[in-house]
Amino acid sequence: MAQRWGVVIMAATMLLGGCATTGMRPAHGPDDPLKPLNKKIFVFNQHLDRVLLKPTAEAYVGLTPLPLRRGISDFFANLDDVRVIVNESLQGRAGPAFLETARFLVNSTLGLLGLIDVATPLGLPAHNAGFGETLAVWGVRSGPYVVLPLFGPSDVRDAIGLGLDSFTNPPTYLSDPSAMWGAYGAQLVNTRSHYLHQGLLMELAAGGHEYTFARDAFWQKRRGLIRRRRAGH
């Protein structure tokens, strides 16, 4: 959920800029036939974040030295490069897939299993690609807007993509279930810790309409990304 909300928070900044320029919210939004159910899940996610995820992330930041947190973030980012490599390849983007593979190999070796990001200073920055974008490039329609428990704003296509993404997440293949779920939890808390000081932005911008604002911010950000992917960028 933290990663999805990160997308919403970043999109909120762009949406705020657009609203300031035009003086209004976007005229069109995503297809939302499941709005009553979506709003209930949205409220549940907010409550879960308020009582569990955010306090846990705050405790993690307070108790863990910055260099160690940076190493943990780099480690999980390195694991996530597997997903990017697979999806860049499936989208026919040979150049980015090659560069992402080089990044993964450099960080996995010289970077001590990804604990140190040595690839970025060498001109191999991180990129992002998931099965949601891949399905879009293949022509699969987005379907209606949905709010996923724990994961937050999505659509049907991205929800399917999220499930497929799990097969490229190395912790999925840990034989010990407790280790697997522990790794998932650590990933979630680590990601949530990156957005501790940005949640207020959405609250202020939403003006009491958090559900609609989160939906429209996600939709605008996602639509722009899919358009660029389909154009080969």
Of 5 and 115, the structure prediction assigns the larger pLDDT to 115
Is residue 17 predicted with pLDDT exceeding 80?
no
Look up residue 142 and give its two tokens: 């987005």
> Given pLDDT bands bounded at 50, 70 and 90, which one contains residue 36?
very high
Higher-pLDDT residue of 25 and 46 is: 46
User: Model pTM?
Assistant: 0.84
- Rounded distance, CA 151 to CA 149, Å? 6
Mean pLDDT (whole number) for 79-85: 98
Confidence of residue 230 (pLDDT cuts 50, 70, 90): confident
The mean pLDDT value for 134-153 works out to 95
Contacts of 174 (CB under 8 A, 6+ apart): 180, 183
pLDDT surpasses 80 at 55: yes
Query: Sorting pLDDT into bands at 50, 70 and 90, what band is 197?
Result: confident
Mean pLDDT value of segment 142-164: 95
